[in-house]
Amino acid sequence: MDSFTFTVGKLDAGMAILIGERAHLIEFPSLLLPPGVSSGSIVNIAVHRNTVEEKRQRREFWELQDQILETFGVKTPQPPQLQVRNVTQTSVTLEWPPIQLATAGLRSLDIYRNQQRLAPIPFPLQNTSTKLSGLEQDTAYTFQLVLRTTAGVFPSNIIKLKTHTMADTSGISVCFGNVQDKALLEDAKLALEDMKAKWSDRVQIDTTHFVCTTPASTPQGASATGGTSGAPGVEYQKALQASIPIVQPQWILGCLQARKMVPISQYYLGATPPAAQYTRPTSTRVTTTGAPRSDPLTSVESPQPKAAGSTSPFVNQPAEDGKPSQVSSDRTVRDSKASSTSHTSTLDTSSSMQSPESSTSLQSTEDGQATPTSPGGTTSVRTGKPAKRRQGTMQKDFRFPSPVNKTPTPPAVVENDGETTPVTESGMDEATVSAPPSNVPPALPTPGMKTPAVMGVTHDGDEEVGETEEVDLS
């Protein structure tokens, strides 16, 4: 180990001047000199290198540099992520997650509207939402947050939106207070669901209306806060402080019926609101009973028996009320006789007297013949051959006037020497007109039915016709 010799020159409390052999002057801490050294004393100083300590200090130095880089060079402030919470006709509510500053210092957090600075956000480290009012309805806007820190400026994403029209009620956000009528409260909640609106039990930043029937707190709210049920509720007081309109539940029903935002002046607490009622939706499904309904384009209807008592003169023609028309017995018998070339009419009577209310209906047999039957099932007239049908075309909406039913006049009875003789309208007795069989009493005429015609003779002046030619009447 090398050693150097020095002479102590000037010596004071903190520093000593050492003079070397070649008149080299160095300053040396006096605390490191041996005890009892004074000016003029000669000392030897030896110097050597400590490599172990040198390596240790170098290692600690670079570890400190890595910590500084990781803390201040890797993590940076994050731009805010702006989101839309609610939109109404004249306001918008925006929200964002808590801002991330990393190790930077916060300078300001500002809200921009249409690329112009609107206002700073108060308490930006605590607030995560803001409500902007005073907007124009049915107008497009853009919004953005700008975060300024000691590490730089970090703008958020741009939100583009359009305020609602008066017909859009989805922006309603209701806080319910004390509504004493439970049925009215339930109807109001269902109405909000139909309008796609929101409701809550607490006043929030996007609350647009406070709905109640009395300012008193609910029993549940009074027990939770330790107050009395007659005192104003906590949420009611919050609504007053936030200048939130306080209305009655009928306002919600009025908006639903009008399908738009209605004025709230008639629905203030204490006023008599207009009558409004919520109609709950019902199922429109109809259950069909009986036989399944067939397709009208593919189904073929079979001939059905025609009921008596119809006034339509045509077979299978629709009546005035949209139902299939029916034909009376006298018209059926006359048409069947007129269309037949040679036939034999047979009259079968099940009794000599029939009630005036009895009538004859028309049934179809397997061979295509038309057979009028009485309600009891007794056949009254049968044609020997199938009737010829007249062919032609006519307009479907054409209708003949209905014939007038006349009540037949019963024959008069004349007493002659103790005997009674029926007299016809012509003044002749019935025995003169026709001679019934000796053992069969004559049958009285049935209302709506005429006497069968003799072969080749008709009562209505109809003559037998041959083949007809189809003529287009349209």
Tens-place pLDDT, residues 235-276: 999 999 999 999 999 999 999 999 999 999 999 988 999 887
Q: How does DSSP assign 330-343, residue by residue? A: HHHHHHHHHT-SS-
Report, as an integer, the average pLDDT of 168-175.
95
- pLDDT > 70? residue 454: no
- pLDDT > 70? residue 41: yes
For the stretch 5-42, what's the b/e string if a residue is b when 16 or more beta carbons lie within 10 angstroms of its beta carbon? ebebeebeeeebbbeeeeeeeeebeeeebeeeeeeeee
Task: Label residue 129 by pLDDT band (50, 70, 90).
Answer: very high
Q: How does DSSP assign 213-278, residue by residue? A: SBSBPPHHHHHHHT--TTSBPHHHHHHHHTT--EE-THHHHHHHHHTSPPPSGGGBTTS-PPP---
What are the two backbone dihedrals, phi and then psi, of residue 339, each rounded to the nearest 5 degrees?
-90, -5
Task: Label residue 220 by pLDDT band (50, 70, 90).
Answer: low
- pLDDT > 80? residue 52: yes
In this predicted structure, which of 27-36, 49-58, 235-244, 450-459 has the lowest mean pLDDT? 450-459
Task: Label residue 160 by pLDDT band (50, 70, 90).
Answer: very high
Tens-place pLDDT, residues 456-473: 444 444 455 556 667 667
Say what the pLDDT of residue 452 is. 46
Task: Label residue 32 by pLDDT band (50, 70, 90).
Answer: confident
- pLDDT > 70? residue 296: no
Say what the pLDDT of residue 316 is. 43
Task: Label residue 334 by pLDDT band (50, 70, 90).
Answer: very low
Give bridge partners of residue 383 from the DSSP assignment: none
For residues 320 and 121, which has the higher predicted lDDT (pLDDT)? 121
Task: Label residue 12 by pLDDT band (50, 70, 90).
Answer: confident
Tens-place pLDDT, residues 371-430: 444 444 444 444 445 555 555 565 667 666 665 554 555 555 545 455 545 544 444 444
Distance CA 64, CA 328 (A): 118
Q: Which of 356, 361, 367, 353 is nearest to 379 (CA)?
A: 361
Report residue 158 CA to chain centroid gap: 33
Say what the pLDDT of residue 322 is. 43
CB pairs under 8 A, 24+ apart, for 436-443? 440/352, 441/352, 442/352, 443/349, 443/352, 443/353, 443/354
Mean pLDDT of all residues belonging to the chain: 73
Distance CA 341, CA 283 (A): 62
- pLDDT > 80? residue 122: yes
